[in-house]
Structure 1
Amino acid sequence: MGKIIYHYCNVESFKAIIQNKAIWLSSVYNLNDYKEIHWIKDKVLKKIKEYTNKNSYEKFNSFIKLFENQQPTVYIASFSQGDDLLSQWRAYANDGFGIAIGFNTDYFEQNDLIKTSEVLYDEKQQEVEIEKILEPLLNLDDKINFESKEFEEYCENIISEINNLSAKSKNELFMEEQEVRLIHNPIIIEDEQTKQFIFKNNLSQMMFRAVCGNLIPYFELKFDYFCENKPPILEIIKGPKNKFINQEIKIFLANNGFYNVDIKNSKSSYR
C-alpha cells in the first residue's frame, strides 16, 4: 500500500465524495488564502530584478509582460499527511464534526494527468528551485527577437514550471498543516477564429460552482474504477465532535463499493 493522505471535510462533502466517487481540483486562483498565488510570483520577480542589467533589460522585461499576462492553468486538491490535526478539524471539517478521508497515494499514481506533491515550505529550497527554473532564461542570448513566437514559446515552458512551483509552495508558517496536493495541468486554448475553448489533457469537462458570489472552475477526478489490491480509500477518521456510528459508516461505504475501510476516532479531546 502507498502512503495515506487525508482530506478533511464536513459531513455533506464526505457524503458527496463517497456517493459520486469523485473529488474536485479547483483553480489555484480560488485558494482559501489568496496570497498563496503571489508567494512564489513575488520571489520570481525579485530574482529577475537581481538578474537584470542594461544588457538583459529588454529580455527580462519582455518575459515579465508574458508572465503577468498569463493566468496559470493549474488545478489542485488539498490533503494532509496528518491524520488527526486540530487545525484541520477546525478549518475544514466543520469545527470537528466532520471527517478525514484517508486516500491511498498508490491509487493516484496510476493517473498520468495528475501529480502528487508534498507542499514545499522551506524558503531556501524555494529559492533554489526558482533559480533552476530561471537559468535557461538567464542563459538565453540577449540579442534574440523578444517579440517572436519562438521567444514566447520558450517563455511559456518557463512560466509553466513557475506556476507548478507556485501550486506546491507555501509560507513556512503553514508547515503544521503537512499539506500534500494533487496537481492537474490541463491545456486550455482559445480558438482565434471560433472563440471556442479547446481542452487537452484534462481530467473531465471544466465545471463551475458558485460560492459566496464567485464562480469557481474545477475538474472532477473520478475514482469509480479500481482493483481490490489498490483501493482509493484506506481509512476514515471521525472528527473529535463527530457523532457517526461506526457500523453505519461501514454500511454507507459498502453500499457505495468501498470495503475493508478502517474506521478510527480522533484522539483529540477538543470539544
Structure 2
Amino acid sequence: MSDKISDLEILSNYYNKTNILIADLENSQKVKIPSQIYHYTSLQAIYSILKQKTIRLTNCEFLNDNSEIIYIRKIISELLDTDKEINNFHSDSNFPQIFKDSVLKTFDEHIEKLTPNIFLLSLTESNHSLSMWSGYSDYDGYRITFDFEKIVNEIVSSGNNTFISEKNERVKLKNFTYAGKVIYSKKTQTDYLKNILLIFATVIYDLGNVKFDSQKATDFNKESISDIFGKIFAFAYICKDDCFEYENEHRIAITFDHKSSDRLLVEKFRLARGSLIPYIELDFTDPKHKLLPIEEIQIGPKINIDIAEKGLNPFLESSGYKKIIVTKSKIPLR
C-alpha cells in the first residue's frame, strides 16, 4: 500500500478493527481469576511484608529462570522460519524475509530498552505443594494466602500505584500493570504467537511504509504499530517451559515507561545469589482498609508450630491483622 492517507479517521478505523482482533485473541487466553492465591516465602520476608505493608517485585532479568525471554524468542524465530501461513503471506515479494528480520530485530531492541523497567511478582494456585515448599523456602518458610480478587480489582488494576523509594518515601507513579496466569503449553503459546504475528504482518504490509500528509497521522500510526508489538513482547512474560508447570504460577507485572526516569525514583537493590538484584516495593494495601489482603499464613512443615504461633499471633494483632488465620502445613516430611 503506497497511497497517501489524508484522513486520520480512516487510519483510526483501521486500528480499531485491528485492536478488536487482538482483544478477541487475548480474551481467548484469559482464565477465571481464582479467589485465593498463594506466595511461598521466608520468615524475614513475611516480617517485612507485614511491617512495611508492601511487597517486592523483582526485575524480570533476575528471575530464577533467566532464560524465559530467550525461550519465547526461539518460538517466534521458529514460527517465522517454518510456518507456511506466515511465509506465504505476500510471498510474491521479499516481504516475508523483511518481516522476519524486522520482528527479531525489534524484539531484541525491546529486550534492551524495556527489560530494565519490567518487574514481576510470582504467585501460585498451589496451596499444598512439596516442590513449592522446597524450592522457595527450604521447607522452613511460610505460605501467605492472598485475596486475589481484591488484588486484581482494587490494587493492581489502577495503573497508578504507590511505591516506596530508597528514602522510604511513598511515591505515586503511572505504570502499566498486568496480572495473568502463566501459560506452559507450547501449543497454546505457538498458536497465540502465530495469530498475533499474522495480524502484525498485515498491519506492517498495509501501513508500514505509508507516507501521511500530517505529522499527527504519522505519529498515530507509529504509536499504534509499536503498541501491537508491545503486546507480542509482553506475552513473553506469561510464558514458561512446560517443565515448570508444577509451579501453577500467576504473575503480576509492573512496567514503567522506558522513556521516563520513573523507575529510578523507586528502584532498590538487594544481595542474593552472589549478585545485586534490582527490585521495587509496591504498596500492597487495599485502599479501603489500608491493610494487606491476607487471609491466612501457613507455617512450613519443618517449623515448630508452637513456638512460631507464639510469636506470629501477637505480631499480627499488633500490626492490625486480627482476622488472619494461622495454620500449619500438613505435608509430611521423612
TM-score (norm 1): 0.84
Cα separation, 2, equivalents of 1:96 and 1:87: 9
- What is the CA-CA distance between 1:239 and the residue it aligns to? 0.6
In the other structure, the counterpart of 1:31 is 63
Instruction: Give the direction of change, closer, same or farther, for the CA distance of 1:198–1:267 in structure 2 (3 Å limit).
Output: same
Unaligned residue ranges in structure 1 (runs of 5+): 190-196
5 Å-filtered alignment, 1:199-238, equals: 199=262, 205-227=266-288, 232-238=293-299
In the other structure, the counterpart of 2:147 is 104
- What is the CA-CA distance between 1:104 and the residue it aligns to? 1.1
- What is the CA-CA distance between 1:219 and the residue it aligns to? 2.2
5 Å-filtered alignment, 1:256-267, equals: 256-267=319-330
Q: Which structure is larger by alpha-carbon Rg, 1 or 2? A: 2
Q: Contact conserved, 2:268 with 2:279, CA < 8 A, in 1? A: yes
In the other structure, the counterpart of 2:17 is none
In the other structure, the counterpart of 1:81 is 125
- What is the CA-CA distance between 1:226 and the residue it aligns to? 4.2
Task: Find the partner of 1:12 among 23, 44, 65.
Answer: 44
Residue type matched to 2:330 in 1?
K
Question: Does 1:165 pair with 2:235?
Answer: yes
Number of aligned residues: 260
State the superposition RMSD in angstroms. 2.8
Q: Contact conserved, 1:10 with 1:97, CA < 8 A, in 2? A: yes
More helix by share: 2
Task: Find the partner of 1:119 among 182, 198, 201.
Answer: 182
Question: Does 1:248 pair with 2:302?
Answer: no
Question: Does 1:68 pair with 2:118?
Answer: no
Instruction: Give the direction of change, closer, same or farther, for the CA distance of 1:269–1:143 in structure 2 (3 Å limit).
Output: closer
Cα separation, 1, equivalents of 2:323 and 2:200: 51
Cα separation, 2, equivalents of 1:229 and 1:219: 19
In the other structure, the counterpart of 1:192 is none
TM-score (norm 2): 0.69
**Sequence identity of aligned pairs in percent?**
25
Cα separation, 2, equivalents of 1:115 and 1:65: 25
In the other structure, the counterpart of 2:136 is 92
Q: Contact conserved, 2:286 with 2:292, CA < 8 A, in 1? A: no
Instruction: Give the direction of change, closer, same or farther, for the CA distance of 1:214–1:145 in structure 2 (3 Å limit).
Output: farther
- What is the CA-CA distance between 1:232 and the residue it aligns to? 0.7
